[in-house]
DNA sequence: CCGACGCATTTCGCATACCGTATACGAAGC
DNA sequence: GCTTCGTATACGGTATGCGAAATGCGTCGG
């Protein structure tokens, strides 16, 4: 065997670790769009068997990160403006609902968690750490989803948010000023949720995501 | 081996066949809510190995038909009004978008296909065949999704529609008059799409689904 | 020089076997 | 009699091997 394992995975639930690694690799572009993925190669690289790899690849397919090329293997999903538009067409109303539900089911703990993550976002923004900002921003989104207390909604957003994160990370890298827009909008979202104002939470969320969309769109004018 | 296979599956893509069978069983209630599913037993029943069974169960989990009980196995997802509300909260805007996009991307073939399925729905309604009506109605929904020409939207709806179908079938069985409401609303949807009126397509779709929701809700007042 | 057939390779689908863990039941001790 | 510990068992996670379908390439014939 020529290829040494890139990194040996630790014991508990190989598949979960592997999933995280591969998702990261796709979102951050280490695995470029259209890259071919072969079960055997991945298994060999990470020093595991094909079984967990199969599970992971199927899951990532469901998350929209991979596309199946007929009888051949899987590819990293292509990046395109068309795809971006598809994702955001769905994402806008769903994130709006999540914010509205988070406001309806508002809890002191939930708001506190949001404030904490918002603080992380501000710090990263002022430090100019694009990757740190991105990670905090993802956590912020996840916290709102969790606060919505709606398992079905979370499940659906799970099949969309990973796909969206690819575009978001790329956009933050290209247009760091997008962080300003994001911080400003997030402030409004936290306030609306804290005040239990579901309609305003929905509308500021939808507005923010629409604006982000238009900005990101400029990066991918195929 | 004591248990004879319930039914032996044919060759091409065992997993797909198995998936269809199990999804059917859940939607039509042959596998009741909360029923425990064990990989070994399913494999034995259908005369296949655990590998395809695992794939299928994971897929059905993503479709919201099964829930994972921690380290233990999978159960058929519970039926509850709470769950119904969650599903429809997401389904209303997504189906609305699908109808609107179907109108935007209107094609003569697409409209023709919708009309054909609509005719099937009418026939089944007048014959009083609840199951036939249900099947035609599902086909109608799928045709609109396909006509929207949006892979991401189809993927998301795929993670929701199966779950919704459980409630829809149960509701048609209990309230056959729901068919009248459905036929009437579907007529309006086809017309709006045929006229390329996206806004009207969205609004009549959302109205129909909301009305269905309220009707179904009466069946599941936990 | 071009096209068609056939072989080798790639890659996935499915089967089978093993292992670790979590649960439940029974026995032993307090 | 109740609690607790150990063992048996059931189940999912993982490893591995085999076979079939599709693809690409090379060669042979026109």
CA B215 to chain centre: 17
What is the mean pLDDT, run by run of 10 residues, along chain A of 222 residues?
A: 37 81 96 93 93 94 91 89 97 98 96 97 94 97 97 95 96 93 97 98 98 91 71
Q: Are residues A116 and A187 in the same domain?
A: yes
| A150, HSE (Cβ side, Cα atoms, 13 Å) | 29
Q: For chain B, how many helices (H) and strands (E)? A: 9, 3
Decide if A5 is inside a domain.
no
Q: Are residues A56 and A139 in the same domain?
A: no
Question: Of B49, B76, B103, which residue is a domain's last?
Answer: B76
Decide if A196 is inside a domain.
yes
Chain D footprint positions (protein CB, under 7 Å): 10-17, 21-23
CB-CB: which of B94, B150, B159 is closest to A155? B159
Residue A158 has a pLDDT of 93
Domain coverage including residue A35: 14-76
Decide if A8 is inside a domain.
no
Kindly report the CATH number assigned to the domain that includes residue B186. 1.20.120.530
Question: Of B76, B92, B111, which residue is a domain's last?
Answer: B76
Q: Are residues B202 and B165 in the same domain?
A: yes
Instruction: Tally the domains of chain A.
Output: 2
Question: Of A76, A101, A120, which residue is a domain's last?
Answer: A76
Q: Are residues B86 and B66 in the same domain?
A: no
For all residues of chain B together, what is the average pLDDT?
Answer: 92
- Answer yes or no: are the C-beta atoms of B85 and B91 closer than 8 Å: no
Decide if A9 is inside a domain.
no
- Characterise A29 by phi-psi region: left (phi > 0), alpha (psi -120 to 50), beta (else): left
Q: Are residues A151 and A41 in the same domain?
A: no
Q: Are residues A87 and A188 in the same domain?
A: yes
Chain B residue numbers touching A54 (CB-CB < 8 A): 55
Q: Are residues B154 and B58 in the same domain?
A: no
Burial of B139 (C-beta count, 10 Å sphere; 0-12/13-18/19+): middle
Q: Are residues B47 and B64 in the same domain?
A: yes
Q: Which nucleotide is nearest to A50 (CA to C1')?
A: D15
Q: Where are the alpha helices (DSSP H) in B108-219?
A: 108-127, 130-147, 151-174, 178-194, 198-219
| Contact check, Cβ <8 Å, A87/B152 | yes
B73-118 pLDDT per residue, tens: 899 999 999 999 999 999 999 999 999 999 999 999 999 999 999 9
Q: Are residues B102 and B37 in the same domain?
A: no
Query: Comparing B2-11, B65-74, B86-95, which segment has the lowest mean pLDDT?
Result: B2-11
Residue B58: how many other CB atoms lie within 10 Å = 18
Decide if B2 is inside a domain.
no
Q: Are residues A102 and A170 in the same domain?
A: yes
Structure tokens at B82: 């709470």
Rounded percentage of chain B residues whose pLDDT exceeds 90: 88
- Answer yes or no: are the C-beta atoms of A49 and A20 closer than 8 Å: no
Chain A residue numbers touching B97 (CB-CB < 8 A): 89-90, 93
Say whether residue B206 is in contact with chain A using an 8 A CB cutoff.
no
Q: Which neighbouring-strand residues pair with B80?
A: none
Q: Which residue of A has its CA nearest to B71?
A: A13
B153-196 pLDDT per residue, tens: 999 999 999 999 999 999 999 999 999 999 999 999 999 999 99
Strand D surroundings (CB within 7 A): A 13-15, 48-52, 55, 70-72; B 11, 37-40, 50-51, 54, 71-74
- Answer yes or no: are the C-beta atoms of B165 and B133 closer than 8 Å: no
Decide if A132 is inside a domain.
yes
Residue B12 has a pLDDT of 62
pLDDT of B3 > 80? The answer is no
Buried b (16+ CB within 10 A) or exposed e, B173-188: eebeebbeebbebbeb
Q: Are residues A71 and A100 in the same domain?
A: no
Q: Are residues B58 and B107 in the same domain?
A: no
Decide if A3 is inside a domain.
no
Element (H, E) at B77: none
Kindly report the CATH number assigned to the domain that includes residue B23. 1.10.10.10
d(CA B37, CA B117): 35
Give all strands (DSSP E) within chain B, no chain letters: 36-37, 66-68, 74-76
Decide if A2 is inside a domain.
no
């Amino acid at each position: 065997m020529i290829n040494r394992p890139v990194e040996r995975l630790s014991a508990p639930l190989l598949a979960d670790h592997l999933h995280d690694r591969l998702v990261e690799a796709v979102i951050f572009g280490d695995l470029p769009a259209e890259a071919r993925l072969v079960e055997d190669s991945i298994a060999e690289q990470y020093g595991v068997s094909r079984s967990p790899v199969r599970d992971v690849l199927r899951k990532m397919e469901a998350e929209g990160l991979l596309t199946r090329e007929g009888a051949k293997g899987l590819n990293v999903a292509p990046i395109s403006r068309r795809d971006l538009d598809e994702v955001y067409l769905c994402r806008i109303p769903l994130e709006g609902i999540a914010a509205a539900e988070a406001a309806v089911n508002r809890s002191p703990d939930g708001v506190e968690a949001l404030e904490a993550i918002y603080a992380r976002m501000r710090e990263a923004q002022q430090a100019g750490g694009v990757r740190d900002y991105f990670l905090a921003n993802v956590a912020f989104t996840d916290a709102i989803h969790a606060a919505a207390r709606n398992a079905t909604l979370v499940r659906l957003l799970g099949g969309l948010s990973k796909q969206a994160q690819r575009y978001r990370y790329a956009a933050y890298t290209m247009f760091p000023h997008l962080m300003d827009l994001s911080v400003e909008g997030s402030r409004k979202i936290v306030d609306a949720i804290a005040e239990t104002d579901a309609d305003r939470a929905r509308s500021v969320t939808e507005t923010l995501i629409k604006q982000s969309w238009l900005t990101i769109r400029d990066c991918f004018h195929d």
